[in-house]
Amino acid sequence: MNSTTEVTPKMLKFLPWLAAMAIFMHALDITILNTSLPSIAKDLGKSPLEIQSIIVAYSVTVALLIPLSGWLSDKYGTKKIFQLAILVFTLGSVLCTFSTSLTSLIISRVIQAVGGAMMVPVSRLAILYAYPKKELLKVINFITIPGLIGPLLGPTIGGVLVETLSWHWIFLVNIPFGIIALWMTSFAIPNFTNKVFKFDMMGLILFSGAVIVITLMMELVSSHGISWLSILILSVIALILIVFYVYHARKKKHPLIDLNLFNIRTLKIGIIGNLITRLGIGGIPFLIPLLLQVGYGYTATVAGLMMIPAAASNIIAKSFAVPIVNKFGYRNTLIGNTIILGIIICSFALLNSETSITYLIPLMVLNGFFSSIQFTAMNTLSLADLDENTSSEGNSLLSVTQQLSLTFGISVAALVLGIFRKLDFITNGVDVQAFRYSFLTLGILTILSTYIFFLLKANDGSSMSGKIEE
């Protein structure tokens, strides 16, 4: 780290607030769209069940640029890169507001995501550099609170704005936050730099290419329908890119993602568990608002309010994660919790046109609670056996995985829903029926994903006992 960088008392006072604002903006932006999709689709002349690419484009861009954000901040300085991140994110928000087509909105979301990919990692990096270790836990706990509040408020704020004003306002709300954050960077964040190695641009191209092709394939299948030949061709292209990346990473001294990290068994199981388990779990926040609005005709505000029980129980569950894992161990906790989550998701399939909306509330509470336990356990398991030589790269890999699993979770949910909507002999052309079969499929997929956690040993992750946090 650059030892000449001055850290003033004023910076130490306001840096956590600046980081908290960045995390809140990012968390709010991810969740505020969920209840707004039907209104956006109507205005753009599209089906609300086929525009999930607005969310996917953002999350996949963030995932792919996370490794680059740390390198850029070390090379050019945390202050300069954070300022650039806020500027790009705010500019992207303005462009989203004035988008007049689905294509222009997706492009604007990608621009917004370029800023979003740098905001949170760079602000966290600045905090790691600025504070002594004994103060880090207190500061990190403080800045994570907005990340919990964002998902709690996002869907409801989105619903209210869409109903009372228009969908454009869900992006306009970012602008005052962006202006305030940009002003605060003038006095709240030091410009730390660090020695860097040559960035693995070829690795980024190969890895990004594979992820984009896989995501594109799922989007085309769910939204437009493509031939089996096209699916085969895209699958082959993705496989070739993955093979080339593996070959490249084995030879590269500092690859984008160090494949040797997968020799750490708990990290490997935690990462794979994150990916495959969230294929079933990750689509629920996307499907529920659509079901309520498209399937049952409820307003966006009601759909947003129905997401609060899950977000609230998600926060409450975090205080239970430590005693649960300490009592049962990672293996038993993750096996049992994953099965419970699968059963809860399957229970959403019991909904029909006569079901009262109040039936959803206990299911949303349970889903939020056990999802929180799941994510906390999987994430801390991934970090359990990292040392000072692997902690930075391992943490970066986990961050990328979390974003990719969010992307794939939504894409898989949209893909499954799209498939069932086309199977009229099963659904009789009724969208609610397609949702029911989709929940059942995702629930079964979640239960099957339990297999990965059977590979854990009884004492795996024991080094994290009593230190679990998210």
Task: Say how far apart CA 7 and CA 134 lie, in whole Å.
Answer: 17
**Rounded Cα distance, 77 and 73, in Å:** 5
Flag whether pLDDT at 468 surpasses 60.
Answer: no
Q: Give me the pLDDT at residue 370, please.
A: 92
- What tokens does 308 get? 């609060």
Q: What secondary structure does DSSP assign to 361-407, as a single string? A: HHHHHHHHHHHHHHHHHHHHHHHTT--TTTHHHHHHHHHHHHHHHHH
User: Tens digit of pLDDT for each residue in 95-140?
Assistant: 999 888 888 988 999 999 899 888 888 888 888 788 776 776 677 7
364-391 pLDDT, tens digit each: 899 989 988 888 888 878 877 776 666 6
Taking residue 243's Cβ as centre, other Cβ atoms within 10 Å add up to: 12
Ordered alpha helix ranges (H), 98-200: 102-130, 133-164, 169-172, 174-188
What's the confidence (pLDDT) of residue 91?
93
CB within 8 Å of 392: residues ≥ 6 apart? none
Please write the tens of the pLDDT for every residue from 199-253.
Answer: 888 988 998 888 888 888 877 776 666 777 888 888 899 899 999 999 998 888 8
pTM: 0.82
- What are the pLDDT digits (tens) for 179-193? 999 999 888 888 888
Hey, what amino acid is at 143?
I
Is residue 428 scored above 70 in pLDDT?
no
340's tokens = 């419970």
Does residue 227 come out as left (phi exceeding 0), alpha (psi in the -120 to 50 range) or beta? beta
Least confident of 41-50, 110-119, 334-343: 41-50
